[in-house]
């Protein structure tokens, strides 16, 4: 079987801005269409045979060498619409403020077919649709307390709603039910916010401290993990967090060199984690508390008027806390949260080229991690975190002067 991994993203955005006496109005509209195709040859003779032998079921590697018996075909699609209306204080106002309303809607569809002689959970056809919506109001204000001290605060109130529909049809594999259907919904109201102070030492250096309250929505996972047994998949709970940060920033050499450093501590309740069950080759979602703390250093240097180099390093430590007795995922107090690397490093290059009344922008980025930064939703917390490298190139974007930006799949044109 030929293996395929393909992702196609189309997007368009419209930004409209108009200045009024006393405030500026800004509207941002976005749409994305994402299509992912994955075809896998899942044969693994030595892994499967060795694993089953360890569990007292010795089998020859030849039992797992037929690609017609272990494969998967997955088609995924997502359409995302977002709209934000925002009012800002006039540029240069002594007290800066912003207030707005935002709406987000996503429809995700997955058509997945698998066949395997290793585990019942890897067999059958799944047709899944998840629709998510968020409506929010927000505001933020920043006011000087003195010539050097500034106080800022922000608040966001939101309502989330998610619907979930899935249909499972067995391929007749032993250990599976003929079929299963599940429909459900999840909704929640919540408030997040932050407060911060910053102290400006001089025109180049400033320090800050902040406290923020975070929230990660609950909902349904897309794989319908219990369907092959004829059981509904329960939604995972929302996650909340308190984040504390202390840092310093500098703008040197007339703004051509930017430096920043920060210390942080995160206290996460009901963190949305995922466990892997090797016996059934299946995943289970779990909510567990954890803590993380660490440090970061970042820089950006303009090498020429058209070329800028940027990068950073980070160090993070994590641990699970308050794990209840009797959990079946293997979580234990004091265990680290894998997939949150202890060490990270990044390096990027920004290129700008004059283009008519504006400029074209291209970015290249590389990242190296050992053992996920301050992520509060690590996908595989109970496995081992291996070192890996990521490299990528961001889209090219063209920017022109005017009052409205239109972004067509990577080309942005500002309409006057």
CATH number, position 145: 2.40.170.20
pTM (two decimals): 0.75
Domain that includes residue 367, residue range: 91-100+120-415
Q: Which of 32, 33, 40 is closest to 5 using CA atoms?
A: 40
The pLDDT, as a whole number, for residue 34 is 95
Question: Is residue 371 in a domain?
Answer: yes
The pLDDT, as a whole number, for residue 131 is 96
- Cα dist. 231→148, 163, 203, 284, 285 in Å? 60, 18, 62, 13, 15
Question: Is residue 63 in a domain?
Answer: no
Q: Can you tell me the distance from the alpha carbon of 330 to that of 277, in angstroms, rounded to the nearest whole number?
A: 9
Domain count, the chain: 1
- Cα dist. 401→106, 241, 358, 398, 405 in Å? 32, 40, 6, 10, 9
The pLDDT, as a whole number, for residue 406 is 38
Question: Is residue 275 in a domain?
Answer: yes
Question: Is residue 108 in a domain?
Answer: no
Q: Can you tell me the distance from the alpha carbon of 406 to that of 299, in angstroms, rounded to the nearest whole number?
A: 30
Question: Is residue 338 in a domain?
Answer: yes
Question: Is residue 124 in a domain?
Answer: yes
Tokens of 20: 């009024």
Q: Which of 385, 390, 164, 126 is closest to 276 using CA atoms?
A: 385
Q: Can you tell me the distance from the alpha carbon of 170 to that of 179, in angstroms, rounded to the nearest whole number?
A: 6
Tokens of 71: 């494969």
Question: Is residue 62 in a domain?
Answer: no
The pLDDT, as a whole number, for residue 236 is 86
Q: Can you tell me the distance from the alpha carbon of 269 to that of 289, in angstroms, rounded to the nearest whole number?
A: 5
Taking the chain (416 residues) in runs of 10, the rounded mean pLDDT of each run is 82 92 94 93 67 64 68 94 96 92 97 87 94 96 94 96 96 93 94 96 95 92 89 90 96 94 95 73 78 96 93 94 81 82 91 78 79 36 29 33 38 37
DSSP 255: T
Question: Is residue 316 in a domain?
Answer: yes
Q: Which of 327, 348, 340, 243 is closest to 285 using CA atoms?
A: 327
The pLDDT, as a whole number, for residue 345 is 93
């Amino acid at each position: 079987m030929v293996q395929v991994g393909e992702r196609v993203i189309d997007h368009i955005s419209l930004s409209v801005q108009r200045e009024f006496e006393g405030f500026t109005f800004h509207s941002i509209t976005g749409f994305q269409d994402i299509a992912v195709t994955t075809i896998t040859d899942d044969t693994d003779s030595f892994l499967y045979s060795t694993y089953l032998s360890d569990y007292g079921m010795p089998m020859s590697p030849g039992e797992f060498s037929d690609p017609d018996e272990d494969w998967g075909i997955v088609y995924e699609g997502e359409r995302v619409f977002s709209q934000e209306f925002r009012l800002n204080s006039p540029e240069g106002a002594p007290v800066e403020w912003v207030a707005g309303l935002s709406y987000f809607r996503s429809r995700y569809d997955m058509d997945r077919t698998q066949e395997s002689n290793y585990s019942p959970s890897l067999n059958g056809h799944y047709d899944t649709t998840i629709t998510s919506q968020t409506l929010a109001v927000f505001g933020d204000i920043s006011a000087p307390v003195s010539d050097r001290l500034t106080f800022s605060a922000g608040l966001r109130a939101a309502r989330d709603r998610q619907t979930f529909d899935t249909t499972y049809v067995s391929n007749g594999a032993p250990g599976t039910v003929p079929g299963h259907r599940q429909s459900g919904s999840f909704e929640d109201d919540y408030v997040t916010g932050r407060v911060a102070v910053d102290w400006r030492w001089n025109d180049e250096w400033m320090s800050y401290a902040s406290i923020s309250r975070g929230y990660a929505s609950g909902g349904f996972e897309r794989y319908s993990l219990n369907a092959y047994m004829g059981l509904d998949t329960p939604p995972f709970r929302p996650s909340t967090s308190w984040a504390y940060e202390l840092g310093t920033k500098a703008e040197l050499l007339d703004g051509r060199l930017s430096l920043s450093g920060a210390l942080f501590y995160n206290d996460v309740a009901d963190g949305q984690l995922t466990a892997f069950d090797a016996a059934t080759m299946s995943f289970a979602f779990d909510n567990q508390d954890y803590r993380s703390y660490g440090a970061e250093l970042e820089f950006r240097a303009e090498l020429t008027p058209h070329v800028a180099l940027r990068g950073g390093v980070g160090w993070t430590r994590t641990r699970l806390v308050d794990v209840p007795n009797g959990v079946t995922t293997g979580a234990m107090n004091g265990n680290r949260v894998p997939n949150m690397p202890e060490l990270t490093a990044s390096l990027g290059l920004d290129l700008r080229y004059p283009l008519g009344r504006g400029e074209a922008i291209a970015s290249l980025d590389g990242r190296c991690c050992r053992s996920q930064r301050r992520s509060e939703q690590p996908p595989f917390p109970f496995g081992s975190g291996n070192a890996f490298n990521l490299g990528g190139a961001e889209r090219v974007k063209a920017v022109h002067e005017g009052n409205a930006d239109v972004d067509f799949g990577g080309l942005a044109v500002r309409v006057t």
